[in-house]
Structure 1
Amino acid sequence: MKTRFVAAAVALALSVTVLSACGSSSDSTGGGDTELTVWIMKDSVADDFLTRFERDFEKRHSGVRLDVQIQEWEGIGEKVTAALASNDAPDVIEVGNTQVAQYAASGGVKDLTDKVGELHGRDWLPGLAEPGKVGGKQYGIPWYAANRVVIYNKDLFAEAGITEPPTTRADWLADTRALDKGKTQGIYLPGQNWYTLAGFIWDEGGDLAVRSGGEWKGALDTPEALRGMDFYRRLQALGKGPKDSDEAKPPQAEVFAKGDVAQIISVPGGAKIVEQANPELKGKLGFFPVPGPSAAKPGSVFTGGSNLIIPEASAHQDAAYQVVKALAGKKWQTDMARLMSYVPNRTSLAHVIEDNEGTAAMAAGAAQGHATPNSPQWAAVEATNPVKGYMTAVLTGADPAKAAEKASASITKTLGS
């Protein structure tokens, strides 16, 4: 997955060889010897998880052998596209949740709509399920998710007299103003953290782009999106974050580690990086979901993560589905969430990570998860990313409406190419 807010990069390729004996057990795929290949992204899961999954799958499917291969992310998009068009495609592939539309557009991905009920689709996280659904058909099966939360310095909150994390955007602004005094930054929020902006826009009922009459159009210039940008502007002003770069320049974890910043917006795993940079902060960091307009529910967040797809060119689609079903099922979702600090694909499984403050906050926010516009051309929008330029323009004094109109026109042009 190209971003994407998972503590680990998402890029592994897993080759799975399935040799199932005919009529060997009730769990067997049947039909004689079958060789099955599955690609999953590097660092998605630990070796220990893969080993245990292989052994369990082999036990439940007589004659099955799993051959796991690791593959780098660089160039994987071109490789997947080529594989989908070939006669020798893998049987299961892990893809970034926002990439499903791009691959489905090729016509080389199997429609799994008839499996949604069996896989408890009504319980899936929206931010994973929605990108996997294209034209009313479910091509991608949600696997795991990660999203941003607020990481805060407990000592600085206590010094400001704040005893409980805020649960509304109004309270969040008020608390951040109280924290932004003297040498302390209320929040470190770079000017081009556009995934965070997207959440504020979704909270207002807007979007980055919308589809109407079969055509995609940029939507940053709608009243809803402009309100989301205005909230971002007010929050960003309560710190010293650069207005012309994102959270990677400079790395915001390093800035936070200096000890004079009260909050950052990051995946929970960012706290580990902070603690590595400044061990004195270990045990002093807390987490809470990004607040929403009301206390009734957390704010909207971008859901990064992975889906599983089955190529049309797979010669063993029934056997491939058994691997997908197992990986997306309760047993391995629970195991993976606890081991990797991911959010499971089902909302009803959020409790399995409640004993970890960071992942619990992430799971609470995941229920309000969204994905970027489900267009095959969205990757091209991100390549030039007019959203970032728009944000910098507004934060440095440009007229928001005019800047939004310009950025929306750029998005529309790219999505229509």
Structure 2
Amino acid sequence: MKKILSFSLAGMMLASTILAGCSTTAKTESTEANKEVAESTTAGTSSEHTVIKLLVPGYDGGYLKEELDNGIAGFEKANDGVEVEIVSVGWDELNSKIVSLYQAGDAPDIMLTGSRTLKQLATLGIAEDLSSYITDDFKANRVESVLATGSVDGKQYGIPMAFSSRALYYRSDLIKTPPKNWDELLEAAKEVHSSNPDVYGFAIPTDITSGTDELLNFIYQNGGALVDDKGEITFDTEANVGTLEYLKQFNDEKLVPDVVSTARGDQATLFANGNLAMFVSGPWEKETLDKSADTAPYKVAVLPEGKQKAETLVTDSYVISSISKNKDLAWKFVEFMGQPEYQRPVSEAFGWFPILKEEFEDERFKTEFMQAFAASIEYGISEPQVEDWDSFNKAFLTAVQKALTGEMGAKEALDEAQSEVAK
């Protein structure tokens, strides 16, 4: 019985054509693999009662609750005497909670966290190196480029369980041809707001939880980066300054809602209420927007490009604690949840993209809606890997807010952020 512990606080779609021709073989191999996983999880079990803890951000709010509950029930049934306790934490406190639990010697056996924090968790000794657990068969079933986002310096610290892509949502009654580049994006926002003063042309979220991922799309599209090839933080580059100066134009022209208080989660609501004409987000917004499609009709388009086509590759991963007393059992759970019958519902829950190769065969990826999100994946660039994500993230977002509101010039704000993280 599951228990809940609550703390208040690149060419991936191209691969589908190759995989489609091997669907029968893949399904046969998958069936055998599932059988082997099920057998392995029951091997060696006894009447002893063993508890493993799984930390899940947002669980109390419903995040993946149904999907994880189903997987946990299956795992407990296959492993007599094993119980999975869920440790639910808030999104905003996720990273700090993991660190504090580890320092207190009470880190959960398994943790769901953004892959961007893996370097920090590895550096602090929190995350177990899972390289020795990963077999050729395990890798053969997974999308290689997605699995790679869970590695740090050649070692596998995370096993990705969620992978998202972005596209541009736009009001199809107000914008006949979606913008294809930055110049057209700015011009379209101006035209919509000029004709409809109550409608913002675009939105630029800068919230601590997800604002950085959205801003990174623009950083990468302008040829910039927040970390260089050597792992050094590079806030104050010419390319990054140019990106913020471009985005500032939207705020100067009052084409966007307040950049400081607007979060990514606010965008769909603003759009559905008729107050926003364009925004960037993932497929999970569809359910909300479909409900208001009569009054706020919409379509999706490929992300407008800057100097180059690019988007942020965002994954969340299972991480096993280095101080867990049940590492082998924790790995069995991760492996169990990676079976298609449990991974597929997780991917489908928020319109995420494939973790497993066989997911490419799913009909949902063949729709026009999903093709807009798939189009940018081959140009994807991973999130930065840093040793202190929270400080890094706060410094960058503070600089963005200061630059976009005019409190500081873009170069001055990024210089300040660079100095802050260098302390």
Q: TM-score range by the shorter chain?
A: 0.7 to 0.9
TM-score, normalised via structure 2 length: 0.72
* Alpha-carbon distance in 2 for matches of 1:250, 1:107: 33
Aligned runs of 1:220-231 on 2, under 5 Å? 220-231=235-246
- Residue 63 of structure 1: aligned partner: 80
2:295 is matched with which residue: 274, 278, 281? 281
* Alpha-carbon distance in 2 for matches of 1:410, 1:86: 28
| Distance verdict in 2 for CA 1:83–1:404, change over 3 Å | closer
Q: Please tell me whether the aligned partners of residues 190 and 241 of structure 1 are also in contact (alpha carbons under 8 angstroms).
A: yes
Q: Please tell me whether the aligned partners of residues 168 and 292 of structure 1 are also in contact (alpha carbons under 8 angstroms).
A: yes
- CA deviations over 1:72-120 (Å, ceiling 9, x no partner): 3275545533554566654322223223223222223221123174433
Structure 1 residue 374 displacement after superposition: 1.4
- CA deviations over 1:349-390 (Å, ceiling 9, x no partner): 35533266655544444554445431221212334x343344
- Residue 53 of structure 1: aligned partner: 71
1:107 is matched with which residue: 108, 121, 125? 125
Matched, 1:94 2:122: no
- Residue 197 of structure 1: aligned partner: 215
Structure 1 residue 318 displacement after superposition: 2.4
Pairs aligned (count): 376
- CA deviations over 1:210-245 (Å, ceiling 9, x no partner): 364x7x33x232122233334434566665214652
Aligned runs of 1:98-177 on 2, under 5 Å? 98-114=116-132, 115=134, 117-120=136-139, 123-126=143-146, 129-130=148-149, 132-158=150-176, 162=177, 165-173=178-186, 175-176=188-189
Structure 1 residue 263 displacement after superposition: 0.8
Q: Please tell me whether the aligned partners of residues 53 and 87 of structure 2 are also in contact (alpha carbons under 8 angstroms).
A: no
Q: Please tell me whether the aligned partners of residues 161 and 316 of structure 2 are also in contact (alpha carbons under 8 angstroms).
A: yes
* Alpha-carbon distance in 1 for matches of 2:135, 2:185: 38
| Distance verdict in 2 for CA 1:57–1:264, change over 3 Å | same
Percent identity over paired residues: 20
Structure 1 residue 144 displacement after superposition: 0.6
- Residue 256 of structure 1: aligned partner: 271
Q: Please tell me whether the aligned partners of residues 90 and 311 of structure 1 are also in contact (alpha carbons under 8 angstroms).
A: yes
| Distance verdict in 2 for CA 1:134–1:156, change over 3 Å | same
- Residue 381 of structure 1: aligned partner: 392
- Residue 18 of structure 1: aligned partner: none
Aligned runs of 1:399-414 on 2, under 5 Å? 399-413=409-423
1:232 is matched with which residue: 238, 247, 252? 247
Mark the runs of 5 or more structure 2 residues left unpaired by the alignment: 7-35
- CA deviations over 1:317-367 (Å, ceiling 9, x no partner): 222212112223444222222244333335773553326665554444455
| Distance verdict in 2 for CA 1:166–1:79, change over 3 Å | closer
> Equivalent residue of 1:69, what SS?
strand
Structure 1 residue 175 displacement after superposition: 4.5
Structure 1 residue 124 displacement after superposition: 4.2
Structure 1 residue 254 displacement after superposition: 4.2
* Alpha-carbon distance in 2 for matches of 1:325, 1:100: 19
* Alpha-carbon distance in 2 for matches of 1:27, 1:242: 53
Q: Please tell me whether the aligned partners of residues 203 and 300 of structure 1 are also in contact (alpha carbons under 8 angstroms).
A: yes
| Distance verdict in 2 for CA 1:25–1:148, change over 3 Å | closer
- Residue 7 of structure 1: aligned partner: none
TM-score, normalised via structure 1 length: 0.73
Q: Please tell me whether the aligned partners of residues 141 and 307 of structure 1 are also in contact (alpha carbons under 8 angstroms).
A: yes
> Equivalent residue of 2:329, what SS?
helix
Runs of 4+ residues over 6 Å off in structure 1: none
- Residue 247 of structure 1: aligned partner: 262
* Alpha-carbon distance in 1 for matches of 2:98, 2:225: 29
- Residue 188 of structure 1: aligned partner: 202
| Distance verdict in 2 for CA 1:390–1:293, change over 3 Å | closer
Structure 1 residue 262 displacement after superposition: 2.1
Structure 1 residue 166 displacement after superposition: 4.1
* Alpha-carbon distance in 2 for matches of 1:327, 1:408: 40
> Equivalent residue of 2:316, what SS?
strand
Q: Please tell me whether the aligned partners of residues 150 and 264 of structure 1 are also in contact (alpha carbons under 8 angstroms).
A: yes
- Residue 9 of structure 1: aligned partner: none
* Alpha-carbon distance in 2 for matches of 1:390, 1:239: 16
Structure 1 residue 156 displacement after superposition: 1.2
* Alpha-carbon distance in 1 for matches of 2:283, 2:252: 23
* Alpha-carbon distance in 2 for matches of 1:409, 1:372: 21
* Alpha-carbon distance in 2 for matches of 1:145, 1:375: 20
* Alpha-carbon distance in 2 for matches of 1:84, 1:76: 12
Q: Which has the higher helix share?
A: 2
> Equivalent residue of 1:407, what SS?
helix
| Distance verdict in 2 for CA 1:55–1:408, change over 3 Å | closer
Mark the runs of 5 or more structure 1 residues left unpaired by the alignment: 1-11, 15-22
* Alpha-carbon distance in 1 for matches of 2:245, 2:143: 33
* Alpha-carbon distance in 2 for matches of 1:392, 1:308: 35
- Residue 307 of structure 1: aligned partner: 317
* Alpha-carbon distance in 1 for matches of 2:357, 2:379: 10
* Alpha-carbon distance in 1 for matches of 2:303, 2:38: 48
* Alpha-carbon distance in 1 for matches of 2:68, 2:287: 24
Of 351-360 and 106-115, more deviation after overlay is shown by 351-360
- CA deviations over 1:262-286 (Å, ceiling 9, x no partner): 212233434544566x57436x222
RMSD: 4.0
